[in-house]
Structure 1
Amino acid sequence: MENLEKIDLFNFDLEIGKQKAYLPLFYQVFGKPLGSAPVVVVNHSLTGNSNVTGEKGWWSGIVGPNRAVDTDYFTVIAFNIPGNGFDDNGENLIDNYRDYSTRDIARIFWEGLFFLKVQNVYAVIGGSLGGAIAWEMAALQPDKIDNLIPIASDWKATDWVIANVLIQDQILNHSDDPIVDARLHATLLYRTPEYVNQRFKRSKLDELSVLQIENWLLDHGFKLKSRYRLAAYKLMNHLLKTIDITRNRPDFLTVANAIEANIHLITVDTDYLFIADETRKTYRELTNKKQNVFYHQIQSIHGHDAYLIEFNQLSDILKPIFNLHKEQRYVSA
């Protein structure tokens, strides 16, 4: 947790009408110092955190020196969703998780940016839940983002997403080993049958008939349990259900049309959580109203988690977006 910083937020009004007297917002800054370079905000996913690059960075293949999001050129800010437990003592947890929404998190992130005197950002990028929060950030401040880049994500929770959130919530609240058991189910959502079948081929781990697939799934469950808190899992899972930039607003096209950012929709062809067909529908709708909308697709056997695996493909998509600012700077110089 090197260079982990904190902003104290007071009297924050939640979307449901309740007020939080105090919210600690933890964050990390990478690359160029604040105020000296264009800002990129990276939003983490369900089990992620602000440690996006470096030795233990979960997205070091994308963010870092000479990477697609080049920390030799950009200032990268990554906030922790309050309640994810990634803080000084691991106690930044939230019990009343159903009080919160992705819109609340987006508003909290803007509060953090304004506190840091950041009024405009070159890009807001995030995968899965992080991409949904990026959508909300753009809807809240439609003129303050140059590039909106949601990856393996959506502006809404489909019935399919909501159904899986319910299953996860039931497991998390009723299982004897909730984190492990919920992770077993979630891991299969994040991958594909083709990947699982191709990798394990019904093979056994040992003569005791322990199957490789069972061992792999349980290993994912126990690893998450060793580093993640139950309250954090409940909150993050719940936030997926609340994704909807049209809630208490006009229709999608009206909301999206107000967003001035270039919108880069990046999907995974085999995503079983935020399915690619929904993103293609969004793209078709948006192109009827806006010119600065772009569709990109990662092809992968890995499914939803491909944005954490297919770094070469994702880098090829992202580099032109981020290199554009460098090229414009050199031209103007």
Structure 2
Amino acid sequence: MLQEIKISNFKNSSGNSQDIFLTYQIFGRELGSAPVILVNHALTGNSSVTGPHGWWNEIIGDGKSIDTQNFSVLAFDMPGNGYSGNSTHLIHNYKEFQLRDIAKIYDEALRILNISEIFAGIGGSIGGALLWELAALNPELIKNVIPVATDYKVTQWVKALCKVQDSILNNSNNPISDARMQAMTFYRSPESLKQKFDPTTQIQPSGNWNIEGWLEYHGKKLEDRFQLASYKLMNHLLTTIDISNNTHDHISSALKIKGNIHIVTVNSDGFFLANENWESYVNLSLSKKNIKISEIRSIHGHDAFLIEHAQIKTILDPIFHINKNKHEKDTHCSLRRG
């Protein structure tokens, strides 16, 4: 059930104040009866992390890696993402916000919900970057920080891609569809698309399905369920990832986090590059002992964290105290760990 919190007169990074409406859902045990797991969604995602319309049903649910019989699973909708359907809650002054503002909003919402400790926080892509921001803002809040296919800083590469997205969103006649089609080209990898559409490599026949039709399908699908203002906001927030709060000392900011850090990267990620994550891990591990890194081995690029469920389970099960025996013979699991 979608619930709502109103945060009055929130002051954003530009110094302007406005009311913020934050929707959320709770799955599994009720709050106060079990450890809390915070799940942050990606750019076009939402708070429906499990259930009839759940986007991560393979990972979250009864008996799954994040077991709703043992945990209270909390998922917020990033403010302005439009999932509530209330157009008055959209954020049109999107360039006044930074991702750190969203972390502050989450932190305030957790206070309102009387949550002072989170057993684990997990998020993919921008959701993982938001998790970094929240952990840096409140270093003792999260006992296990699990950022997936993301980074604690924005790179020039991400800025470049987001600049193109912003230009499409503000100038195209079909902004959502066109921007989504372009984004799919860096969410996946050339190898992934070759496997899916090259007649000589297809695992299953695709009939008349081709790369052009696949891109158009994803563009139209997002156009049917997502607001232009939401896309502009989320794309802009990607360009503001910076746990150093403009000091450029990301290492020092990350080292303030008290909880265990479990970085999950994707070897073929063409958006948040794996070598950036490995460099961060090496630098942090020189001073922080409770940090690990796992690498998903996949041809599918950035979206692998939504595709390679067996590998994700293998990474998460030890963190959530799930029996690993069922994965020991899984030939699809190929992980590199540090």
User: TM-score band (shorter)?
Assistant: over 0.9
1:217 corresponds to which letter in structure 2?
L
TM-superposed deviation, 1:195: 1.1
| Aligned pairs for 1:82-121 within 5 A | 82-89=79-86, 91-121=88-118
> Cα gap change, 1:313/1:66 in structure 2, threshold over 3 Å: closer, same or farther?
same
User: Which of 267, 270, 273 is the aligned partner of 2:268?
Assistant: 270
User: Which of 172, 177, 181 is the aligned partner of 2:178?
Assistant: 181
Task: Please tell me whether the aligned partners of residues 131 and 154 of structure 1 are also in contact (alpha carbons under 8 angstroms).
Answer: yes
Task: Give the number of equivalent residue pairs.
Answer: 316
2:99 corresponds to which letter in structure 1?
T
1:92 & 1:308 partners in 2: Cα distance?
Answer: 28
TM-superposed deviation, 1:211: 7.3
In the TM superposition, structure 1's runs of 4+ consecutive aligned residues that sit over 2 Å from their partners are: 88-92, 247-250
| Aligned pairs for 1:58-207 within 5 A | 58-89=55-86, 91-201=88-198
1:186-238 per-position Cα deviation (integer Å, ceiling 9, x unaligned): 001100001111221169xxxxxx87110111111000101111110000000
1:214 & 1:202 partners in 2: Cα distance?
Answer: 15
2:292 corresponds to which letter in structure 1?
F
TM-superposed deviation, 1:247: 2.4
TM-score between both structures, scaled by the size of structure 1: 0.92
2:3 corresponds to which letter in structure 1?
E
1:220-267 per-position Cα deviation (integer Å, ceiling 9, x unaligned): 100010111111000000000000111234712211111101000000
1:170 corresponds to which letter in structure 2?
S
2:11 & 2:137 partners in 1: Cα distance?
Answer: 15
Partner SS, residue 239 of structure 1: helix
* Paired position in structure 1 for 2:15: 17
1:91 & 1:32 partners in 2: Cα distance?
Answer: 32
TM-score between both structures, scaled by the size of structure 2: 0.91
2:149 corresponds to which letter in structure 1?
A
TM-superposed deviation, 1:88: 4.8
* Paired position in structure 2 for 1:219: 217
TM-superposed deviation, 1:282: 0.3
> Unaligned regions of 5+ residues in structure 2, if any?
201-207, 323-338
1:125 corresponds to which letter in structure 2?
I
1:54-87 per-position Cα deviation (integer Å, ceiling 9, x unaligned): 1110011111111111110010110011110011
1:91 & 1:77 partners in 2: Cα distance?
Answer: 24
User: Which of 36, 40, 51 is the aligned partner of 1:39?
Assistant: 36
Task: Please tell me whether the aligned partners of residues 6 and 25 of structure 1 are also in contact (alpha carbons under 8 angstroms).
Answer: yes
Partner SS, residue 95 of structure 1: coil
Partner SS, residue 145 of structure 1: coil
Percent pairwise identity = 49
2:267 corresponds to which letter in structure 1?
D
> Unaligned regions of 5+ residues in structure 1, if any?
204-209, 325-333
1:56 & 1:250 partners in 2: Cα distance?
Answer: 39
1:257-315 per-position Cα deviation (integer Å, ceiling 9, x unaligned): 11101000000110000010000000000011100010101111111001111111001
Task: Please tell me whether the aligned partners of residues 153 and 250 of structure 2 are also in contact (alpha carbons under 8 angstroms).
Answer: no
TM-superposed deviation, 1:7: 0.6
Task: Please tell me whether the aligned partners of residues 86 and 92 of structure 1 are also in contact (alpha carbons under 8 angstroms).
Answer: no
1:215 corresponds to which letter in structure 2?
G
